[in-house]
Amino acid sequence: MTNPSTPYVVHELPRRFRIRYPILGHRHTDSLYLQALLENIAGVDSVRINRCATSIIVTHDGSATIQTDTLATLKTLPEAAFSGYEQDLSVPINPLMLTGLSILTFSLRVLPPSIQGAVSFFVALPTLLKGADTLLNRGLKIDVLDAGAVGFSLLRRDYFTSNMVILLLGLGEYLEQISEDKTTGLLKSLLRPQVDEVWVEKDGVEIQTPISQLYPGDLIICGPGEMIPIDGIVARGEALVNQSSITGESVPLHKKPGDEILSGAVVEEGKIAIRVDTVGNDTGLARINRFLENSLRSSSPAQKKSEELADRLVPLTFGLGLLVFLLTRDIRRAAAVLTVDYSCAIKLATPIAVKTAMYSAAHQGVLIKGANALDQLAQVDTLIFDKTGTLTCGDLQVTDVKPISRRMAQKTLLALAASAEEHYDHPVARAVVNAAREKNLQLPPISQVDFIVAHGVSAYVDGKQILVGSRHFIEEDEQINCAAADQFTEQFYQQGKTLLYVAKEGKLAGIIAMRDDIRPEAAEVLKRFKEGPIKNIVVLTGDHKKTALALQEQLPEIDQIHWELKPEDKAGIIRELQQCGYRTAFIGDGVNDAPALVTADVGFCMPAGTDLTKNAAEGILLREDLGVLVEAIDIAERNRQTIVHSFYSTVGFNSLFLLLASMGKIQPVTAALLHNLNTVGILGYSAARGLSKRSNNDSTIPAAGAQ
C-alpha cells in the first residue's frame, strides 16, 4: 500500500542520515516491524526510530544506494507494518534528557528563590500531567504515586527534592530501558529467517528455484505445511492460511484468488499459486521482530498474578501516604512514602527474566516462544515423542526397492516415487528423493501434486497418477489391493524398517523399505530426563506394531509406545494423559504432528520440522541434539525460581522502605534513591541469573526462523 505521507531526508553524514516520516506519529504504525524491515536492507548497520519526533536515524556502511533503498522501502510498505497494536508514543528517556535534568536540579542551589519555583514546576509538569491522565483514565497506578510525591514536594516548596525525585525516576526508567533493549537485542541476534528455495510453476511444471532468482509475475506454489516466502496475490487455488506469527490472529484465514497474502504465513490446508508482485524486499527480519513482539507480549498465568497483585498494592501505598499526612501533617514524610512502589520491579523483572532465559536457551540450542511456554515447560513431568525424526535421526536411508511386477525395474519404481515426493518436505520424502539422486536417476516432470497429511502424496507423473504413502492410504483410502506386497512386508517389519507403498494408475506398483537409525544420544538423554523432573516417557508413531516394539527394545527408558496412529489419535492420547493429571510436552517434526503440538501443554519442533510444525510449536530445537531439551527444562525451572525470588525481594525491600518512610526515618530523595536502586538491582539479578548457566560454547546456533 502507498503511505499517506512521504518520507524525506532532513540530515546527512557520510555513514548516517536522519529521515522525517510523519506516519510514525500514528498509534497503529508498527515501529518494531518497520525497524526490522529497514535493518534487513543490505548495508544498513542499525536503525533507531523516534516516534515522538517522527524520525528515523539510519547508520550504514557508506554505500551510495542505502539512502535510495531506504526511502523506496518506506514509500511502499506491506499492510503488516500497520497492523500492530496501539503503541506508546511517549518520549523515551535518553542521556541528553538526564543530563539536562541534572543541570537544572543542581543549579537550583545558585538560582534566586523567585526563579526556583518556576524552573521546578516546568520540570515537574510532564510528571504531573501524566499522573493526572493516568488517574482519570486508568485509576490509581504508579504514575499517580510519582505525581503525588512530586506534587507534595512542590507544595512544601522543597524544589530540590521535587527535581531530584524526577531525576531518579528518569534514571531508573533509562536503566530499565537499557536492560530491555539489551536482552531483546541478544535474542534478535540469534534468529535468522531461512527461506532458500521455492517451487515455481512454469509451463504447467513445478520447478524448485532459489528465492534469489524470483521475478515479478512468477507463480509460487505453496502446499500444506509450507511457509509463504513472499508477499503477493493468490492467483489460483484456495487454502486455509495461518498468519498468527505476523498479525497475531489465532484463526486461520480462508484465502482465494485475488486475496493478498503475506510472507511468513503458513498454509494449513489446501494448495495455492501466488503471483509475485515485487522481489528483493525480504521481510524475514521483520518476522523476527513480530515473533518477539507477539511472544514477549504474552504473559504466563504466574506473571499475570504477580502484576495484578502489584497493581492492587498501588492504592495501598497511596492510602498509606495520605494516612501518614493526616496523622503527622508532615508533607515531606508523605512524599517519601509515595516515592516507593512495588509495581516497577515486579512488572519489569519478569519480562527481563523471560528474555534472558529465552536467550540462554537459544544459546543452548532451543528457541522458546515467551513466558507462557517457559512457565509450562517448568511444570512438565511427561515427555511425548513422535518417533521419526525425533528419537530417530530422521535421515532415513532406502534399503530395499521391491516392484510388484517383473516388468517394472527397481530404478523405474524409485524414480516414480521420487518425482511424486520431490515437492514434499518430510523425512520419508527426502529419503526417496536422495536415493534417486544417488543413483543419478532422471526424474520425470510432475503436475497436480496434492498432499494428504499423514497419509501420502498424489501426483501426475508423465500424465499418469502416482500415489505414494502408507498402506492405510493406498489400501483403505484409495481402495487399491496391497496383498501382493505381503510376501516382503513381514521380513521388513521384523528388521524395524519403515515401508512406503507406491501405486500407479490404480494398481500397486511396489514398496520401498527404509531404515531410520536411533539418535546416538537418545539412550543417554532419556536417562537424564528420568533423573530429573520427567517421570513418564511416551512414544507415538504411525509405524507398524513390530517396528515400534523394535524401538522400545533398544530404548528401555520408554514407558509407553503407541503404533499405527493417525494425527488425531496422537492428540487424543495426549488429552488422555492430561486428564490423568500429567503435564505434557510433545516433540515432533512433521505436518501430521501439528494437532499433537497444539494439544500438549507445550510443544517442541525439531530443526528439520516443517514450517507448519514450527508455527504450531511453542519451542524449536535449533540443533539436532535431544540433549538441548534437558538444558531447556533446567533453564525454564531456573526462570520460574528467578521470578519468584524477584517478587519476594521486591515486596520485602520496598515494604522496609515504606516503613522507614512512614516513620520519618528517610527523606523523599533517599526513599526514591533506595527504591530505584532496589528496582535496578532486581532487574540485574533477573538478567544475570538467566545467563548464569550459559554454556561455554557460544558458537552461533543454526538458524531456525521466526515462526
Rounded to 5°, the CA angle 398-402-404 comes to 150
Tell me the per-residue pLDDT of 427-474, one tens digit each, with 9 for 90 and over: 788 889 999 999 999 888 777 777 765 568 888 888 889 999 888 889
On average, the pLDDT of the chain sits at 79
| pLDDT above 90: percentage of residues in the chain | 15
Q: Would you say 32 and 293 are in contact if contact means Cβ atoms under 8 Å apart?
A: yes
Cell numbers given for 172: 531508573
Candidates 35, 49, 34, 148; CA nearest to 92 is: 49
> Which CA distances in Å does 153 have to 5, 119, 457, 657, 667?
44, 14, 75, 18, 11
> Which structural domains are found in the chain, ordered by start?
8-82 (3.30.70.100), 197-281 (2.70.150.10), 397-515 (3.40.1110.10)
Task: Report the pLDDT value the prediction gives residue 387, as an integer from 0 to 100.
Answer: 84
DSSP bridge partners of 240: 254, 269
| Section 192-214 average pLDDT | 74
Task: Report the pLDDT value the prediction gives residue 289, as an integer from 0 to 100.
Answer: 52
Of 33-47, 94-108, 135-149, 242-256, least confident by mean pLDDT is 242-256
pLDDT confidence band for 384 (50 / 70 / 90): very high
Task: Report the pLDDT value the prediction gives residue 282, as an integer from 0 to 100.
Answer: 44
Cell numbers given for 93: 528517556
How many other CB atoms sit within 10 Å of the CB of residue 180? Answer: 17
| Catalytic residue check, 30 | no
> Which one of 335-339, 415-419, 486-490, 690-694 scores highest in mean pLDDT?
415-419
| List 231, 282, 341, 386, catalytic entry | 386
Higher pLDDT, 371 or 512: 512
Task: Kindly report whether the global pTM for this prediction surpasses the value 0.85.
Answer: no
* pLDDT surpasses 60 at 704: no
* pLDDT surpasses 90 at 382: yes
Q: Is the dihedral of CA 360, 366, 372, 377 positive or negative?
A: negative
Task: Report the pLDDT value the prediction gives residue 675, as an integer from 0 to 100.
Answer: 77
* pLDDT surpasses 50 at 697: no
| Section 28-46 average pLDDT | 77
Candidates 384, 390, 370; CA nearest to 583 is: 384
pLDDT confidence band for 504 (50 / 70 / 90): very high
Q: Would you say 388 and 394 are in contact if contact means Cβ atoms under 8 Å apart?
A: yes
Q: Would you say 346 and 650 are in contact if contact means Cβ atoms under 8 Å apart?
A: yes
d(CA 187, CA 366): 12
d(CA 669, CA 671): 5
Tell me the per-residue pLDDT of 629-687, one tens digit each, with 9 for 90 and over: 998 999 999 888 888 888 888 888 988 988 898 888 888 878 878 877 887 788 778 77
Helix (H) or strand (E) holding 358: helix 343-364
pLDDT confidence band for 700 (50 / 70 / 90): very low
> Which CA distances in Å does 696 have to 230, 364, 699?
38, 10, 9
Tell me the per-residue pLDDT of 190-202, one tens digit each, with 9 for 90 and over: 444 455 678 888 8
d(CA 170, CA 164): 10
Q: Is the dihedral of CA 219, 225, 229, 234 positive or negative?
A: positive
d(CA 509, CA 230): 38
pLDDT confidence band for 538 (50 / 70 / 90): very high
Tell me the per-residue pLDDT of 86-115, one tens digit each, with 9 for 90 and over: 555 556 677 888 888 888 888 877 888 778
Q: Would you say 539 and 560 are in contact if contact means Cβ atoms under 8 Å apart?
A: yes
Candidates 477, 420, 425; CA nearest to 448 is: 420
d(CA 31, CA 293): 11
Q: Map grid coordinates 497429511 to a residue.
A: 453
> Which one of 261-275, 347-361, 626-640 scores highest in mean pLDDT?
626-640
Candidates 151, 154, 18; CA nearest to 74 is: 18
Task: Report the pLDDT value the prediction gives residue 579, as an integer from 0 to 100.
Answer: 94
Tell me the per-residue pLDDT of 280-297, one tens digit each, with 9 for 90 and over: 444 444 554 555 555 555
Cell numbers given for 332: 515531606
Task: Report the pLDDT value the prediction gives residue 611, as an integer from 0 to 100.
Answer: 63
